[in-house]
Amino acid sequence: MGHSGIGANPDQASLAAALKQQARQLGFDPVGIAAVPGSSRLQLRTAALGRWLAAHHEAEMGWMADPRRRQVETLLPGVQSVLAVGLNYYVAAQRAPGSLAVARYGWGRDYHRVIDRRLRQLGRWLEEQRPGVRWRACVDSAPLMDKAWAEEAGLGWIGKHSNLISRDRGSWLLLGHLLSTQELPADQPAASLCGACTACIDACPTDAITEPFVVNSRRCIAFHTIENREPELPAPIAAAMAPWVAGCDICQDVCPWNRQPLESSSDPDLQPRDWVLNLQADEALHWSDASWDERLRASALRRIKPAQWRRNIRSLG
C-alpha cells in the first residue's frame, strides 16, 4: 500500500484528498487515513490491550474487553479503510480561583453527539461519490481501538499517559473514525515524540500511570469520578483528587506538547457552559436533580449521575 497516495490509484488518491477536505470543512483537524488491517504497530497496540485487560486495569469498564475492539472487521464487514479525525477541544479559558475542576472534554456539548453527527455527514458525502459504498461512524463509545487507529492514520502518537498527542494540537483532541468499504491510500503512521520525558507519570497524584503507556484505572481520578458507582470513593482517591470532581486533566496539563501555544477552538459546540469555570462546592452540592438535569443537558458529564456528582463533591472534604 503506497503512503500518501504515492503509487496509489489516482482516482482513489483524489477521492481521499476530497474526503479529507470535507472533514476539515466540518471542523476536524488533523485528519488522516489508515488501511485495514493496519501495520505491525497496530498489532503491537492490540497485544498491549490484551496485556492491559489481563492485568484487570480496566476495573469496572467491562466494555473495554469487547472482542470486537481487537477486530475492526466485526464493526463493518468488508472494511478497507479508516478515516481518523481529531476535533480540537482546547479553549483558552481559565476556571475561577478556588472553583472545582471539570475535565476540559466536559466543558461544552456532548462530544459523542457532535462528532457522530459530523461523521454521518461525511459518510453520506462519501456515499454520494461512491454509490454502494458502506460506512460506519465511530466515536469512542464504539468498540474500536480509537487511539491506535488515529496513530495508524498519522494524527499523532499515543503518549505515556495513553492519550493521543498531536505535534500541533497537543493531546486536546477528541477522536472519531469513519470506517468504509472504500479502498483509500493510507497516510504514514505517526512517530512517537515523547522521548525520555516522564512529566505525566511524575505528576499523577495517585500513581495511576504504573509504567509508560499503562494506566491502572483503579488508581485513576478520572475513572473514579466518572465510572465508579459506589456510594463512597476509595480513601486514597478522595485524599488526592481535589479540586477534580468530574474527570481529571493533570497528566495532560503537564505535557510539554500542551505547554506550547495552542490554537483555541472557536467551535460553538465546544465553548464552556457558563457554570463550568466557576463551580462552587457549596452551591453545586445542593443542586436539585432538576437543576443538575438542566445544567448538564446534552453534556458528556451526564454519565456522572446526581448521586455520584454529590459524592464526588463531598469527597473533597
The catalytic residues are 140
Other CB atoms within 10 Å distance of the CB of residue 228: 21
* Closest alpha carbon to 176 in 39, 80, 83, 299: 83
What nine digits make up the cell of 186? 493510507
Q: Which three cell numbers mark 19?
A: 474526503
- 65 class by beta-carbon count within 10 Å (0-12 exposed, 13-18 middle, 19+ buried): middle
User: Do 160 and 212 contact (CB within 8 A), yes or no?
Assistant: yes
Three-class DSSP category at 171:
coil
In Å, how far from its chain's centre is CA 160? Answer: 15
Please name the residue ranges forming H helices in the chain.
10-25, 40-54, 111-129, 146-152, 199-203, 221-226, 235-240, 250-253, 256-259, 281-284, 289-295, 306-315
Write down the residue that cell numbers 499523532 correspond to.
Answer: 156
Cα 127 versus chain centre, distance:
26
